A and B are shown apart, each in its own frame.
Chain A
Amino acid sequence: MDIVLRAVVVYVFVLVLTRAVGRRELSTLEPFDLILLVMIGDLVQQGVTQNDFSVTGSFLAVGTIGVLTVIFSYLPWRFQILRPVLEGVPTILVEDGNVVEKNLKRHRLTQEEVAAAARVDSIESLSQVRWAVLETNGQISFIKQDGDS
């Protein structure tokens, strides 16, 4: 029973923590972020399984996390009111070439970072951007102004 409870507690904690940390941080996979992810995975595993090396224990932990994943993807799909809480809201960062400063501030983003993300999409200048949206997965999507190829 303990292993299931531990898996639930750790899953909910990681979910809350990742939501609190902010989506932009989670979407980047710099070498340091990658190492951090592996570290977190290792630390979480110890907390869930502790000294249980059994196959049954693994099944219980992985099964519980699988079920929770389905539950937490079903809930926002079924109840729209939960979407902002569990997934967040897409945030407009650039409108008609103008940066929405307060939204950059809310997500601890700089204009330079948005411009860098735009360059990845082959956009030279934010003035060419009609809409830039910080999606719930942390990626920034760009829609160009009419007439820009």
Chain B
Amino acid sequence: MADTPDFLTLKHNRDQAGKREVPIRRVIMVLVALFSVAGLLNVFGQRPDTSKAAVPAASIKLYAPTRVRGGLYYEARFTIDARQDLKKAMLVLDPGWLEGITINTIEPSPIGEASHDGKLVLELGHIPAGATYLLFIQAQVNPTNIGHRSQDVALYDGGTFLADVNHAITVYP
């Protein structure tokens, strides 16, 4: 049997080399693959979900992602179906809609904006009975905004509460 090169031994470098390393490498690669699969399955966002609430006067549907990552652009779509005349429709958004999130645009532009108990009030104006009102918010997550926040949405007609949609967003780094 030939002498091994310096610093190499048959035991360590022939018989045992990689014996423990290979299973560990496989476990790590499986974990990495699972992470990618989790990404495919929307664990880390940004696929939108639909949340709804309805009362006799109107229904509200929110189509927006519940999980996003820092820097992502996303859209939130609000659909209001008025079954009765809404003279002064208003959407009241939790501060989580704005906390660490840049609103690029709100279309159609609300006729007014206000703050109520720290919440953003969007005044939409008159929605006739039978009409559908669509509101789009285009937003981008600030990269430093990590965490979980409530993004509830409430629909009012003037001072009268009609319905609310429970929604929350989780921002991954």
Residues of A within 8 A of B (CB): 2, 6, 16-17, 19-22, 50-51, 84, 88-92, 95-96, 100, 103, 106-107, 130-131, 133, 143
Say which one of B16-24, B45-53, B75-83, B131-139 lies at the interface with A.
Answer: B16-24
- Give Cα distance in the complex from A22 to B21, angstroms: 10
Interface residue count on the B side (C-beta < 8 Å): 25
- Using A130-B2, A143-B5 as known contacts, say yes or no to A22 and B25 having CB atoms under 8 A apart: yes
In the complex, the answer to whether A92 meets B71 with C-beta atoms within 8 Å is no
The residue that A106 contacts in the complex, of B5, B13, B22, B144, with Cβ under 8 A, is B22
Q: Which residue of B lies closest to A92 (CB)?
A: B14
* Apart from the given pairs A50-B70, A50-B143, A143-B5, 16 other A-B contacts in the complex at a CB distance below 8 Å: A2-B143, A16-B28, A19-B25, A20-B24, A20-B29, A21-B25, A89-B12, A89-B17, A92-B4, A92-B10, A95-B2, A96-B2, A106-B18, A133-B5, A133-B8, A133-B13
Interface SS of chain B = loop
- Give Cα distance in the complex from A89 to B24, angstroms: 14
Q: Which residue of B lies closest to A108 (CB)?
A: B22
B173 close to A (CB within 8 Å): yes
The residue that B4 contacts in the complex, of A19, A50, A131, with Cβ under 8 A, is A131
In the complex, the answer to whether B143 meets A107 with C-beta atoms within 8 Å is no
The residue that A20 contacts in the complex, of B2, B20, B32, with Cβ under 8 A, is B32
In the complex, the answer to whether A17 meets B32 with C-beta atoms within 8 Å is yes
Task: Chain A residues near B10: list those with CB within 8 A.
Answer: 92, 95
Task: Chain A residues near B70: list those with CB within 8 A.
Answer: 50
Task: Chain B residues near A130: list those with CB within 8 A.
Answer: 2
Task: Chain A residues near B41: list those with CB within 8 A.
Answer: none
- Give Cα distance in the complex from A131 to B10, angstroms: 11
Residues of B within 8 A of A (CB): 1-2, 4-5, 8, 10, 12-14, 17-22, 24-25, 28-29, 32, 70-71, 143-144, 173
In the complex, the answer to whether A88 meets B1 with C-beta atoms within 8 Å is no
CB distance from B77 to the nearest CB of A (A): 25
The residue that B17 contacts in the complex, of A16, A19, A90, A96, with Cβ under 8 A, is A90
Task: Chain B residues near A19: list those with CB within 8 A.
Answer: 25, 28
CB distance from B140 to the nearest CB of A (A): 10
In the complex, the answer to whether B13 meets A90 with C-beta atoms within 8 Å is yes
In the complex, the answer to whether B17 meets A131 with C-beta atoms within 8 Å is no
14 CB-based A-B contacts, threshold 8 Å:
A2-B143, A50-B143, A51-B71, A89-B13, A89-B21, A90-B8, A91-B18, A92-B10, A92-B13, A96-B1, A100-B14, A103-B14, A103-B17, A130-B2
